[in-house]
Structure 1
């Protein structure tokens, strides 16, 4: 009995000693990394310029209380850069709260994205649901934003990509885990939203980059982003301009969803794209009549068909597939996986796209 009690006391002492070791740090001895950026190094002998954004705790959460510090280091690897940065601060770096990764657009253009992503995926303390984006003119410039409306450092990025604040179809949001999957999965190409810095307080996030597994292939403009989002995320808050003979009107779509089917006939791929839009008329330069809603719907469907076809033929010409047509083909065809993939690579450049849209207008707004 005495021996059992003695062993219990010794185990308790050992456990307490392990808690006081190097594996545990009090919160006041940690720097919380909220965002990280990777850019090409200014030094030609180095590969990367790694920047971390460290949040400085504030006694109260209010507008403008987004205090932070920025630390950068140039090395040949991200792991080495992080450890060198540790020697330049007085607290332990905690990566568990990092929710944004910004890759400089110049680095995306250089390619080799698989190598770049290796460190982020291997680290067990980095959230796979962190947002990832490209930064213009650089990732560091994005991290060094100081908008007066922020309550927490980088909270503007979190709210924009998570659609917690602004809700818009112009912003394409991408998670770290999905980006890594797209880098590896044949038939589904990666995409990155572009964060463009306009000044020290404002950004624009309405363009995106499509990659061919390694480097940038095409940059999608704002109007194309809306179409991609209807197939990718199914986000509403979508605006459609419809031209008429004597003017135009704007549809505010509360719901916009795109789907597709893929068939192969006579050695040719046919991709049917279906778009469903529900909304109301938000603005018009000409008088509208509720009795002519069906006519306005048909005119809107023609505009949607034209825009969707234009985008997907553009993606086809750039030899990229962010929607996953190739993945669908691989899932529906058995046999040797490599041969199935080669068949798709032969079919996709000559694939035919057909669009069928359905627009439903609830009203012309509060006036005609």
Structure 2
């Protein structure tokens, strides 16, 4: 009986000491990091300029209540920068609410993205569903934006990438876990949406940086961004301008989804893109008739075919593969993985692309 009492007493003592030494801190002793940026350091003997955005609690959530403070440090490693930043504030940094990671464009152009992202992936308190983007002119400038319509610090980025506010085909969203996978996976190259500061606390998010496994190789303009997005995440709210002899008409698509197949046709590797578009005619510069929807569909299919071919040939010439043609090829061709990959690297520059679009128009809008 005494032995049991002694055991219970020791257990309580150990539990009490464990609670006393744990790392728990009250909420009023924490700074919540909502966003981080990494830029090249302006100092010759340092590698990175790391900036954290710390949210300052507000008694009420309203427009313009996005109070925050930025703290930066020049170091050779992100881990060291965070430790030094801790010495500059009076509260513990809480990374559990970090939802946006912005890499400065200059750093993306220099390369070595795998090293930059290593710390973010290893930290267990950073969400793998945090958004990753490239910042123009740099990451710190994007973090320092204070739009008057924001209710919470960096909420503009969260709502744009999550498409819970605005819904547009021009915004490509990239998660931390997917960016890391693309850096490592053969046959699927990394992408970064570009957040560009436009002055007066405004931004534009309608371009995408395409990388090889190391650095940026190509920047997609807004038109190509829409085409890529149809294969990347399947989108709605898509507009397509179709040229005619006397002007143009614009399709508003409610549903756009791209797929592709890889086949061997008479000894040649052929990739066939199959965009599927359902929508209505939203605008026209010349009279549109409801009885001629089939003709407009054919015109749209021809236009989409030309644009899609130009897009994939740009990717082929730059020798990058953000859509995942190589990954599909590896999955469909058994054998030694290294040999299959080597074969694809040889084939990709000579692959023939074909486009078979399918456009379905349901109406000409309110007029016609």
In the alignment, which residue of structure 2 is the partner of 1:356? 356
TM-score by length of 2: 0.98
Query: In 1, distance between residues paired with 2:198 and 2:19?
Result: 47
In the alignment, which residue of structure 2 is the partner of 1:40? 40
Matched length: 368
Q: Which moved more, 1:20-29 or 1:225-234?
A: 20-29
In the alignment, which residue of structure 1 is the partner of 2:117? 117
Query: In 1, distance between residues paired with 2:13 and 2:65?
Result: 42
In the alignment, which residue of structure 2 is the partner of 1:254? 254
Give the 3-state SS of the residue equivalent to 2:148 in structure 1: coil
Query: In 2, distance between residues paired with 1:215 and 1:358?
Result: 35
Query: In 1, distance between residues paired with 2:16 and 2:120?
Result: 32
Query: In 2, distance between residues paired with 1:203 and 1:11?
Result: 57
TM-score by length of 1: 0.98
Q: Deviations over 1:304-347 (max 9, x none)?
A: 11111110000000000001000011111122211111110111
Q: Is the 8 A contact 1:268 1:347 kept in 2?
A: no
Q: Deviations over 1:7-48 (max 9, x none)?
A: 434433432332232511111111110000000000011100
Query: In 2, distance between residues paired with 1:144 and 1:267?
Result: 55
What is the Cα-based RMSD across aligned positions, in Å? 1.2
Query: In 2, distance between residues paired with 1:192 and 1:303?
Result: 27
Query: In 2, distance between residues paired with 1:9 and 1:156?
Result: 54
5+ residue gaps in structure 2?
Answer: none
1:177-326 equivalences under 5 Å are 177-326=177-326
Query: In 1, distance between residues paired with 2:58 and 2:14?
Result: 36
Q: Deviations over 1:166-196 (max 9, x none)?
A: 0001001000000000000000000000000
**Cα deviation, residue 271, structure 1:** 0.1
In the alignment, which residue of structure 2 is the partner of 1:8? 8
Residues 63 and 9 (structure 1), Cα distance of their counterparts in 2 relative to 1, 3 Å cut:
farther
Query: In 1, distance between residues paired with 2:167 and 2:26?
Result: 38
Query: In 2, distance between residues paired with 1:127 and 1:136?
Result: 24
**Cα deviation, residue 246, structure 1:** 1.0
Q: Is the 8 A contact 1:146 1:200 kept in 2?
A: no
Residues 251 and 79 (structure 1), Cα distance of their counterparts in 2 relative to 1, 3 Å cut:
same
**Cα deviation, residue 200, structure 1:** 4.5
Q: Deviations over 1:279-315 (max 9, x none)?
A: 0111111111100111111111111111111100000
